[in-house]
Structure 1
Amino acid sequence: MSAHLADQADTRYVTGPRGERFAYRRFGRAGTRPLVLHMRLRGTIDHWDPALLDLLAAEREVVVFDNRGTNFSTGEPPSTMEGLVDGSLALIGALGLEDVDVLGWSLGGIVAQGVALTAPGLVNRLVVAGSSPGGVPDLPPPPARVAQITGKGANDDEDFLYLFYPETERARAAGLASLRRLDRRLRESKAVVSPEAFRGQIAAISGFRGYWDRQAELTLPVLAANGAHDVMIHAYATFAMSQRLPDAKAVLYSDAGHGFLFQHPEDFAHEVNEFLGR
């Protein structure tokens, strides 16, 4: 049995407003405001590092889930950002939650912003990890190799190491350690985003006009964080957000990339718990 409490959390199901069935896990410190986590492109409920989840769950209740039509959840996979946001709100509503914090990584960071913009009375605080509001002027584009890797039918360790971690010995070691922590769930579940759901996510990103011009509407406290060497979404997006958001804190990890939250789970969890506990 895994030593991580997150690995021992049961997968549950709840029926959404369209008759779809959402897969989710809810665990951690009962009686606290739930923290709803939103996953990256091509990620599932089983691609969260349990080391990070355990540290977050020690301070608050945590909810992880598969969006509509993705992995263990049924329904039509969204093909727009609005659809992804609606899926998240449907899950939150189906659970009867009326006061939450939200955290999103990568694509999930955009979705989390959309949730806060669409339902401002629902969200208390927002954490945006390794992401962007979309439409950031002069944002450096990712290297061509990123599209080559993300376009593969499946990714191996070397692909994830390139996408998520700098090419240093310490970062690679931390990345491999995180990948091995993911193995326990993935070996059993075989969790995967179907080609249809992946195409929907790509379409959502391609058709997204961005929340750049709506940053001022996010008046709630926001924590934006990234690794300084992110090849997927340049860290400039995090800095740019901090200039537009009314109430924000920005954190950059100088030795990390897109997977900074798994490379430094203790430090990032401390940042998140302190921020949400204010």
Structure 2
Amino acid sequence: MTTLQHVETRFGTLAYREEGNGPGLPLVLCQRFRGTLDDWDPDFLAPLMANRRMIRFDSAGIGGSQGAVPDSLDGIAEVAIAFLDAMKLDKVDLLGWSLGGFVAQHVALAVPKRIRRLIIAGSGPGGPSEGPEPHPRVREVMAHPQNGEEDFLFLFYADSDTSRAAGRANLARLTAVPNRVPDVTAAGFMSQLKAIGTAKGVRDRLAELSMPVLVANGAHDVMIPAYRSYIISQEAPDAKLILYPDAGHAFLFQYPQEFAAEVSRFLAD
């Protein structure tokens, strides 16, 4: 486990971990709803950091960071941009998962010249969408004060023995992570929930994402149906879509080696 570091921004002191090195721009990771910088699966991180500099951080008010959690996606994106400023990162590759995928799109639209390549995992453009709706139980389960193992498996993995087994293995790896930052607080959870619930979405601006974009999801995501990833791939001008079988929202941790290899190939092109 790398040392937890901190950097000062106008939103407060933000926590981050920096790993790996190598040629090319750093890869910055934006985390999911209710997730911290220590909720990235080690089996996914290890191959990514093998040949490049990688930075994962906690947004304002999350995990090891100070400040208050913004209650809008634009506000959370402003924190991410302030983090890039404080780290003196003029240009990066950006990977966002789930809520982080929404945030990454907002960042790329706000400062397009600073994002060389964009990876949107388990996410969509936000706002109203045609196609399948999230599973009717998602809102109820997401709103639980604490998400136990069954909640986690329902939200993040497909309803199959193989996918659920992968989910339990993912949970075991995360539980074994030492010196974890604090979990997301109730106040932070509510602000994130408001940010998601009030967002209008960016579908009408997807054509502005001129950088190469890699979009990926599990074929059976109950929270953000894979069709919404397909929308991005159709409307962003230079986007590639990958769907993983027998997998849900946490496909990247069910197939950590495979997806890390896809990411590495995409960033190396």
**TM-score, normalised with respect to structure 1:** 0.94
Tell me, in whole angstroms, the C-alpha distance in 2 between the residues paired with 1:157 and 1:269: 25
The answer to whether the 8 A contact 1:136-1:240 is kept is no
Give 1:64's match in structure 2, choosing from 56, 62, 83: 56
Aligned pairs for 1:165-244 (under 5 A) are 165-185=157-177, 188-189=179-180, 191-244=182-235
Give 1:126's match in structure 2, choosing from 99, 106, 118: 118
Please report how far the alpha carbon of residue 188 of structure 1 lies from its aligned counterpart in structure 2 after TM superposition. Answer: 3.8
215-224 or 90-99, which deviates more:
90-99
Question: What's the secondary structure of 2:137's corresponding residue?
Answer: helix
Which ranges of structure 2 fall in alignment gaps of 5 or more residues? none
Aligned pairs for 1:23-102 (under 5 A) are 23-102=15-94
Q: Is 1:22–2:14 an aligned residue pair? A: yes
The answer to whether the 8 A contact 1:164-1:258 is kept is yes
RMSD across aligned C-alpha pairs, in angstroms?
1.2
The answer to whether the 8 A contact 1:136-1:237 is kept is no
Match of 1:276 in 2: 267
Aligned pairs for 1:102-113 (under 5 A) are 102-113=94-105
Tell me, in whole angstroms, the C-alpha distance in 2 between the residues paired with 1:195 and 1:133: 26
| Structure 1 residues 210-254: Cα deviation after superposition (integer angstroms, max 9, x where no partner) | 010000000000000000000000000111111101001000012
Against the structure 1 CA distance between its residues 237 and 275, is the aligned structure 2 distance closer, same or farther, given a 3 Å change threshold? same
Match of 1:154 in 2: 146
Matched length = 269
Tell me, in whole angstroms, the C-alpha distance in 2 between the residues paired with 1:178 and 1:198: 22
Percent identical among aligned pairs is 46
**TM-score, normalised with respect to structure 2:** 0.97
Q: Is 1:137–2:129 an aligned residue pair? A: yes
Tell me, in whole angstroms, the C-alpha distance in 2 between the residues paired with 1:55 and 1:74: 30
Question: What's the secondary structure of 2:15's corresponding residue?
Answer: strand
Tell me, in whole angstroms, the C-alpha distance in 2 between the residues paired with 1:31 and 1:87: 26
